[in-house]
Every structure is written in C-alpha cells, then in structure tokens.
Amino acid sequence: MTTDVQTFETKSLCPLDSREALIDEVWSGLCKRPRSLVPWMLYDCEGSRLFECITTLPEYYPTRTERDIVANHAGAILAASGSDYSRPLRLLELGAGTAAKTGILLEAATRSRSQVTYFPIDVSSDALAAACESIGCLLPDVQLEPVVANYVTDPPRLEPFQGTTLAMYIGSSIGNFSPEEARTILRNLRAELRRGDALLLGTDMVKDEATLVRAYDDGEGVTAAFNLNILHRLNRELGANFDTGCFRHRARWNAAESRIEMHLESACDQTVNIPAAQLTLQFAAFETIHTENSYKFTTETLGALLDDAGFAIEQTWTDPQQWYALTLAGLR
C-alpha cells in the first residue's frame, strides 16, 4: 500500500539571507546611536528553531491563546469571512512560520469546500518547508503555493483567483512593526485583495506589565538565546567576533509606546570587528542593540490601524481573559 505525497515548488522573490542584505542592515543599524538591528535577522534556521521553542513555554501565552481561539471558532471564522462555499478558497498567510494554527483552519475549510489553496509567505525557507510538509501530509487535497519573501520590502503580488481570498496575519506578527510600518504592510495587502475578500488579523492586547515581561524573558533563557542568536548569525555569516557572553538579553515594557522592547545590552566596554562589512565598532558598558518590538493593542488602537489601512472590522473573537484577539475585517 502506498501513500501519495504532495509535491510543491517554493518560489523565492529575493535573496533574503544574502551577505549583502546583512551588511546593509549592519551599516544602517549599528553605525548610529541608539544602535538597532531589524527583526528579520533573528530568523535564520537556528532562530526559527528557537522561536518555535519559545511558543511552547509556559510564560509565552500568545501562541496557545491564539490556538485555542482558532480551534474554538474555526467554523465561525470561515463562515463570517463571507465566502461562497461553492467557490474555491485561497488562504494567504503572511509570516506563516510552521503554520501549526493555520492547519486548524485549513482542515475546517476542506470539510466545506471542494478546492482550497494555501499560499504561505515567510522569510524562512526552512519554516516554510516544514509547514508545507506538515500540511501536505495531513491535508493532501490542499494545494500548496509557498513563497519565500520579505513581505515588508517585497509586498506580495497575487495572481488572479477565481474564488475568495482570506488573508491571514496571525501570531501578533503585526506587533513587531512600528505603527507606520504596520499600516504600510496592511495597505499593501489591501491593494491586492478584491471585493468579497477578507483579512484575519491576530493581535496581542495590552495587559499587566509583569505578564508581558515574563512572556519575553522566560525562566529557561530560551528567549535570551533567541535574541543572542542574531550575534551568532553575524559571527557565522559575516565573520564578526561578537563575544555573546559579553551581552545580556533585556526585555522592557515601554508604556508610552505600548510595546515590549527586546535589547542586547553590552556588559562592558568592548570592541567588535565585522570584517565582511569592513567595520570596527566600539560598545560602551550598558549600551544596547535594539533588536525587536512587540506592540500591544487596545480596542481603539486596533480599530484605528485597520481603518487607516482600508479595512472595516466585521467580527472579533477573543479568550475569556481578553488577552488576545482574532479580528475579521472586510474591505472598506
């Protein structure tokens, strides 16, 4: 007895992990003060593996909370998306990762629709491969069209589709971007959608500071390893000599900006060389590299973001504590 295994072709829109891209980001982020690096640099193969570990930690509530919401309301979400059950459905997902939660929606979709296409987009080819292999085994009737791309710098361009598109941006990934960047991402996505299509957006909501900080500074040090991996990546790929033992992971709640900030703090005065970028950098003790933000939302700020991007909220699902929200929005 044999089992058919679905094959799929992964498209790549740009050389995301090229030395040139890393060098450009090092020059633009580390040669100014305060110093910073862009979040996509965290997600090489090792970074993606570490992030998947983070999602299983007891302190990191967003993943399991969102998964529960999807599991409890998958049918309602698909019904509310307004798509005609007789027409094909395309689920487009920005920042797909390993698509564990998306699989729940895809399974529900295959029970009511004869044709379902999954169009995941992510910066990590390894994560996309794992996602498509998993979906392909569990749901062999789902058509897979993965794309490796930085959807911030290279917005997706959708081919004409004789059906309904449900665009998904879950995992609170929108919170990793400044309000201006978030609006641009959603506006670019809005421009590719057509009347009758919809957006499903996952957002982490404002809550007490202690809970927020614990989620980004776990007791096992996995998030610290994830953050420090960005320096390991520069060592591996650009020949840098960062001593990761001389940097400390720091997670801070910035109430004024409504965001958790991740930083790498220099533990001493030190010099770092990055040969591939032809750079020598001087770090002072307690100086930081700002690596990532995670914005948290209120009902008002979420509504304003979607309205500015050309969407209108149709329905929201949340958990009993209202820590997290999944919002379905149509086109204005």
Q: Which residue has the tokens 């491969």?
A: 129
Cα separation, 43 vs 29, whole angstroms: 17
pTM score, whole prediction: 0.89
Q: Within a 10 A sphere around the Cβ of 332, how many other Cβ atoms?
A: 10
Look at residues 93, 139, 97, 91 and name the one whose alpha carbon lies nearest to residue 120.
Answer: 93
pLDDT tens per residue across span 19-30? 898 999 999 999
Please give the span between the terminal C-alpha atoms of the chain, in angstroms, as a whole number: 51
* Peptide bond just before 34 cis, omega within 30 deg: yes
Cα separation, 71 vs 108, whole angstroms: 10
* Domain segments of the chain as ranges: 11-42+209-295, 54-152+163-207+297-331
Look at residues 185, 212, 164 and name the one whose alpha carbon lies nearest to residue 62.
Answer: 212
Look up residue 300 and give its two tokens. Answer: 């008002």
Across 78-82, 192-196, 292-296, least confident range: 78-82
Q: Where are the alpha helices (DSSP H) in 36-101?
A: 45-54, 61-80
pLDDT tens per residue across span 105-119? 999 999 888 899 999
DSSP state of 158: P
> Is domain 54-152+163-207+297-331 in CATH 3.40.50.150, yes or no?
yes
pLDDT tens per residue across span 4-15? 445 555 565 444
